């Protein structure tokens, strides 16, 4: 198949080959975002930090990758419309991907969604439905609409194309680090439903890279699931990282993560806010708080002996990298998105941010 | 000479070959910054806009290019220290370049310099001297210190290495646009002392690209100089673009620009502020107001029949591109820098910015 074919291959259980194939198919359909580096951030971390700027991706987040792949397959199968639900970025991405493929998109967002994300989904031509504030409410609405109108649902993380597509961002970062002569010892990715970090684990398969997820304190379904050995829901605590508040890690991501992820770093909102400021004022890029969480986690991981890191049970003290945390030399971070309200940018930039009301 | 030689060739009058040689020498010494693009900005402009993100350059501005080249040559000639003056970014760049080459740097900034820039110059190990608020005051101090201590002065724009070095950002943008299959019809660069736009003219020499400078209203020394046929000083008006307020375009840049630049676009602070917001919230990169001025100018150039554009006398209605402004298809912009205070970011992001006090 040539790269300009419009048909991605049929679904298969996600694995590294699936991520590599997705990367190839997406290579002229999404932006190859730059890998950035800052001497000041390196000094602060005490290691080299390579940052994959997916906030510069079309649609403002790496969700465009999985959405393009999933919508592309549905379009090739003859579907004329799709439905999706998310707190925002997946909905924006599905709206844009559907527009590219000439499909109608219906996207379900929470009533308290960031207005930036609602506006972007509408600008892409999607029908936007606002439903409740929880995942269950959105999912029920999305399923109901999909059933009524015969539209397939593209889940935000429990979907093989979404896992593989998001994994391509990690694969590009891993390969770019090798090209630069500074291969990654660790790779850090924020966790909502776990699709991105599962994709990262698949991308890193066969390489000496330790993959970590980052969760806000109190939104730590993956950390709890690793300990329990099965997907374990939480009642998500309030956090500034609105994209990292699903009730539970997805079944499919967890099936990948339970045997591959090195661990989970838990970060609080102050750490996320500080990472946001570093990225904005030093690196000069705008991330949303969820998108900055990866850097917050990486700084904890390499900088704080008492950092709140939950290892995967049975993973031992040394992972695939063959190194202990204190010996990492190069750490990769996926800056997953940059869709954030101007008011919040202003408050975070000037440290006039006093947390999220419970 | 191999690219890892530490000796750039001896000075020569700047021309396109000089810019190409500078690009080659700098290629493993500065960041090859990405060329960014936004569907939303393209729609707004009605043309394709390719943005060279030099705000992501080491030191936060494209001044690093000329500074590395000039300091590299002085280091190779056996100097152990250098002196420079600027409103900020050139001083930061010389400080960093000197540190890289093991030279002492003394940099003279105005007493009202952005504290970000003072802090960055100090962090790079430079001795920072604050002197007056005008170019003449800084220049007198810098010359006095240079003479007293036998240190060569690296002028912020009236210097062949600085012109050639800054031109390499434009050359990379021109070449990347060609590689993408969308060669530039026009290239827009903000004007302080004119070093960057002169370098752009040299980089574009022999290609069908119209080069424009952008000046804040009331800081339009280049526009006035083109009309007068000689460098013509102004009493710079207050502007949010603190890097674009020199009293007069440099002699050396003007010698290049008088025969090559297509024209100058004058923009006001509201246009600069709007470009800043677009870059931050849509493109997701942080620029300083001076760094956003290029986009403000480009949007005027292609979007407004009544835009305040001063053509070079004798240039006629059609330039090197062979196109009238209304027929441009692809316009390049150099985002020259991103060093800006958090407070100003917050005020600009939320439109709570009421102009600069006179």
B36 CB neighbours in chain A (<8 A) are 56
Residues in chain A: 358
Q: Which of A96, A99, A281, A284 to mutate to test the interface with B (most CBs of B within 10 A)?
A: A284
Q: What integer best gives the mean pLDDT of chain B? A: 92
**Mean pLDDT of the B40-48 span:** 96
Nearest CA in chain A to B283: A56
Give residues with Cβ within 8 angstroms of A314, minimum separation 6: none
Alpha-carbon span A108 to A247, nearest angstrom = 17
Q: Cβ of A280 and B286 within 8 Å?
A: yes
Q: Cβ of B56 and A285 within 8 Å?
A: yes
Q: Which 3 state secondary structure label does DSSP give A43?
A: helix
Strand intervals (E) in B110-175: 127-130
Burial (CB < 10 A; 0-12, 13-18, 19+), residue A150, is exposed
Strands A263-267 and A309-311: antiparallel
Considering only residues 280 to 319 of chain B, which have any Cβ-Cβ distance to chain A shorter than 8 Å?
280-281, 283-287
Q: Cβ of B285 and A287 within 8 Å?
A: no
Q: What integer best gives the mean pLDDT of chain A? A: 92
Which of the four pLDDT bands, split at 50, 70 and 90, describes residue B81?
very high
What percent of chain A is modeled with pLDDT above 90? 82
Pair B333, B45: CB distance under 8 Å: no
What number is the ipTM of this complex? Answer: 0.92
Pair B212, B272: CB distance under 8 Å: no
Alpha-carbon span B342 to B58, nearest angstrom = 19
| A53 strand-pairing partners | A335
B58 CB neighbours in chain A (<8 A) are 39
Structural domains of chain B ordered from first start? 16-61+160-349 (3.40.50.1100), 63-149 (3.40.50.1100)
> A70-102: buried (b, 16+ CB within 10 Å) or exposed (e) per residue?
bbbbbbeeebebbbbbbbbbbbbbbbbbbbbbe
The neighbour count for residue B64, using CB atoms within 10 Å, is 29
pLDDT digits (tens, 9 = 90+) for A246-271: 889 999 999 999 999 999 999 999 99
Task: Quickly count helices (H) and strands (E) in chain B.
Answer: 13, 10
**Has residue B12 got a pLDDT over 70?**
no
CA-to-CA separations, B183 to A180, B204, B210, B312, in angstroms, rounded: 28, 11, 12, 23
Alpha-carbon span A194 to A65, nearest angstrom = 15
B253 phi/psi in degrees, rounded to 5: -55, -40
Pair B154, B132: CB distance under 8 Å: no
**Has residue A357 got a pLDDT over 50?**
no
B342 CB neighbours in chain A (<8 A) are 277, 281, 349-351
Task: Quickly count helices (H) and strands (E) in chain A.
Answer: 13, 10
Alpha-carbon span B294 to B188, nearest angstrom = 6
Considering only residues 109 to 138 of chain B, which have any Cβ-Cβ distance to chain A shorter than 8 Å?
116, 123
pLDDT at B4: 45
Cα angle vertex B158, ends B157, B159, to 5°?
Answer: 90
Alpha-carbon span A298 to A324, nearest angstrom = 14
pLDDT at B1: 38
A285 CB neighbours in chain B (<8 A) are 56, 284-286
Q: Which of A169, A138, A325, A320 is nearest to A246 (CA)?
A: A138
Alpha-carbon span B272 to B282, nearest angstrom = 15
Q: Cβ of A286 and B280 within 8 Å?
A: yes
The neighbour count for residue B112, using CB atoms within 10 Å, is 11
pLDDT digits (tens, 9 = 90+) for B279-288: 999 999 999 9
Nearest CA in chain B to A349: B342
What H or E segment, with its residue span, contains residue B145?
Answer: helix B135-149
CA-to-CA separations, B267 to B218, B254, B299, B310, in angstroms, rounded: 9, 20, 10, 12
**Mean pLDDT of the B198-226 span:** 97
pLDDT at B356: 61
**Has residue A304 got a pLDDT over 90?**
no
CA-to-CA separations, B280 to A96, A117, B336, B345, in angstroms, rounded: 20, 15, 14, 9
Query: SS in 3 state form for B9-57?
Result: CCCCCCCHHHHHHHHHHHCCCCCCCCEECCHHHHHHHCCEEEEEEHHHC
B39 CB neighbours in chain A (<8 A) are 58
Distance from CA of B353 to the nearest CA of A (A): 12
**Has residue A309 got a pLDDT over 50?**
yes
**Pick from A56, A283, A287: CB nearest B36:** A56
**Pick from A36, A285, A343: CB nearest B350:** A343
Alpha-carbon span B328 to B319, nearest angstrom = 11
Q: What DSSP line would sit under A84-113, residue for residue?
A: EE-SSHHHHHHHHHHHHHT-EEEEEE-TT-
Q: Which of B181, B266, B286, B20 is nearest to A338 (CA)?
A: B286
**Pick from A36, A116, A350: CB nearest B342:** A350
Tokens of B234: 């102004």
Q: Which of B51, B58, B276, B284 to mutate to test the interface with A (most CBs of A within 10 A)?
A: B284
Q: What DSSP line would sit under A206-227, residue for residue?
A: TSS-EEEEEEETT--HHHHHHH
Give residues with Cβ within 8 angstroms of A148, minimum separation 6: none
């Amino acid at each position: 198949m040539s790269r300009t074919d419009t048909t991605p291959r049929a679904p298969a259980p996600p694995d590294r080959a699936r991520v590599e194939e997705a990367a190839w198919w997406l290579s002229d359909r999404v932006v190859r975002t730059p890998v950035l580096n800052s001497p000041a951030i390196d000094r602060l971390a005490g290691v080299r930090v390579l940052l994959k700027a997916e906030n510069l991706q079309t649609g403002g987040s790496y969700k465009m990758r999985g959405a393009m792949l999933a919508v592309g397959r549905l379009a090739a199968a003859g579907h004329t419309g799709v439905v999706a639900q998310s707190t925002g970025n997946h909905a924006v991405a599905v709206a844009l991907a559907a527009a590219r493929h000439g499909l109608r998109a219906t996207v379900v967002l929470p009533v308290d969604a960031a207005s930036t994300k609602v506006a972007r989904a509408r600008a892409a031509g999607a029908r936007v439905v606002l439903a409740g504030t929880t995942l269950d409410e959105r999912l029920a609405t999305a399923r109901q609409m999909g059933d009524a109108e015969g539209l397939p649902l593209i889940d935000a993380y429990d979907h093989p194309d979404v896992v593989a597509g998001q994994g391509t961002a990690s694969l590009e970062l891993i390969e770019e680090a090798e090209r630069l002569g500074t291969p990654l010892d660790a790779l850090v990715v924020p966790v909502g439903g776990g699709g991105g970090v599962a994709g990262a684990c698949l991308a890193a398969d066969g390489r000496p890279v330790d993959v970590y997820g980052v969760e806000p304190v109190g939104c730590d379904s993956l950390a709890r699931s690793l300990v329990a050995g099965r997907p374990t829901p939480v009642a998500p605590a309030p956090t500034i990282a609105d994209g990292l508040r699903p009730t539970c890690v997805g079944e499919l991501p967890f099936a990948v993560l339970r045997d591959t992820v090195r661990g989970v770093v838990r970060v609080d909102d102050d750490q996320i806010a500080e990472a946001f400021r570093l990225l904005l004022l030093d690196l000069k890029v705008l991330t949303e708080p969820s998108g900055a969480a990866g850097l917050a986690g990486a700084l904890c991981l390499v900088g704080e002996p008492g950092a709140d890191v939950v290892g995967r049970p049975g993973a031992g003290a040394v992972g695939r990298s063959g190194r202990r945390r204190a010996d990492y030399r190069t750490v990769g971070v996926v800056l997953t998105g940059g869709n954030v309200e101007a008011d919040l940018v202003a408050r975070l930039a000037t440290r006039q941010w006093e947390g999220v009301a419970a």
